[in-house]
Amino acid sequence: PERVLSGVQPTGSLHLGNYLGAIRQWVDFQNEDQFNDDGEVVPVENFFCVVDLHAITMPHDPKDLQESTLSSAALYLAAGIDPTKSKIFVQSHVPAHSELAWLLNCITPMGWLERMIQFKEKAKKQGESVGVGLFSYPILMAADIMLYQSTKVPVGEDQRQHLELTRDIVRRFNDLFCKGNPYKKRCKAAGVPSRPVFVEPDAIILKEGARVMSLTDGSSKMSKSDPSDASRINVLDDPKTIRDKIKRCKTDAIPGIEWDNPDRPEATNLLNIYSAVQPTKRTKEEILKEVGEMTWGEFKPVIADAIVNHLTPIQDRYYEVRNDPDALNEILKQGADAANEVAERTLLNTKVAMGFNIPP
């Protein structure tokens, strides 16, 4: 079977990049059949996690963490994740994530982490006080993925390097601990199957929406950490805020709207967003026919309306879900129970492979 796992950090509010790059893809995974090489439908198990342990790798305020965790989970549901088809859970409710991360910390060379672009970018902002957790962040992410033997990880483009690192860690673990007779003997003694403990996951990155750019600078990524809220559209922004942000967003002085002109990153970005929020799929040609000849002044209300129309039903569902905390907590509990069962099993296998004493 295929296992799908992904997650978003509950830091601040989720934005259009998180939604278009990640969450919307998860919904498609959940709702579409997956096929193997012979064209047969394969069963898929989906795990979607609110990665609260990752959210503390940057300075955080304890009074906000709980609310943003629940709010992120509510947004997963509002965006269309269906708890009868997918498990939704909070990372810190499954202790195996922290434990596996420690085990993997001990086999991952520092040099591999020093190359991580996201670490370099985030560390720059923090200077001397940068935490060890931020450095080993990608190892915790590898643990998230590996615990579920995940084969597919739907993410935005900025996570590609972390997925490659995860594959390297999987190979290293299997090479170090899952080969030869001593491994088989340990498994037999512990009564667990002797197979490679971990599988190599694939990053699943959409062509469209994989990299939503800032509204104030079309050459940098839309991001929660940009100090200016005007640089992003949050999934929960009200219609007036969305229209204002689009009205004020960066444009250029060239007539017409066009795609993929390297000198016009803002035009490409807004067209990508416009295309991604259409109610039904439209080709680039169809979209250009509609808006290609417009001025920025004409295009802006059109794209603002399209974004508002796309987000309004999600926001309505969000407030419904968020106003029923008992139901939400129950979904998270069931998600954590299911996740714990799989994760505990993998953790046991890992410890056997590494030679730990397993309590009877």
Q: Which is nearer to ligand TYM, 6 or 86 (CB)?
A: 6
Here the tokens at position 53 are: 């342990």
Among 3, 24, 54, 152, binds ligand TYM (CB under 6 A): 54
Residue-wise DSSP of 156-224? -GGGHHHHHHHHHHHHHHHHHHS-HHHHHHHHHHHT---S-S--PPEEE--SSSSSPBPSS-TTSB--T
Active site residue 122: yes
On whether the CB atoms of residues 7 and 51 are closer than 8 A, the answer is yes
Catalytic annotation, pick one of 63, 85, 87, 122:
122
* Site for ligand TYM contains 151 (CB under 6 A): no
Q: Which is nearer to ligand TYM, 186 or 221 (CB)?
A: 221
CA angle 53, 46, 339 (to 5 degrees): 50
Site stretch for ligand TYM (CB under 6 A), options 18-26, 100-108, 255-263, 275-283: 18-26
Active site residue 284: no
Q: Which is nearer to ligand TYM, 4 or 352 (CB)?
A: 4
Site stretch for ligand TYM (CB under 6 A), options 35-43, 104-112, 156-164, 252-260: 156-164
State the minimum distance, in angstroms, from the CB of residue 160 to ligand TYM: 9
Residues 299-318 contacting ligand TYM, CB under 6 A: none
Here the tokens at position 246 are: 């689009």
Distances in whole angstroms, Cα of residue 276 to Cα of each of 24, 236, 312, 313, 338: 10, 17, 15, 16, 33
Contact track, ligand TYM, 206-245, x by CB under 6 A: ----xxx--------xxx----------------------
Phi then psi for 15, rounded to 5 degrees?
-115, 180
The Cα 137–Cα 131 span in angstroms is: 10
Among 46, 69, 159, 231, binds ligand TYM (CB under 6 A): 159
* Site for ligand TYM contains 58 (CB under 6 A): no
Catalytic annotation, pick one of 221, 245, 300, 351:
221
The DSSP element (H or E) to which 88 belongs, if any, is: strand 86-90
CB neighbour class for 316 (10 Å; exposed up to 12, middle 13-18, buried from 19): exposed
The Cα 49–Cα 146 span in angstroms is: 13
* Site for ligand TYM contains 72 (CB under 6 A): no
The DSSP element (H or E) to which 271 belongs, if any, is: helix 265-276
Among 4, 17, 149, 183, binds ligand TYM (CB under 6 A): 17
Active site residue 221: yes
List residues binding ligand TYM (CB under 6 A): 5-9, 17-18, 21-22, 51, 54, 141, 144-145, 153, 155-156, 158-159, 162, 210-212, 221-223
Catalytic residues: 122, 221, 224
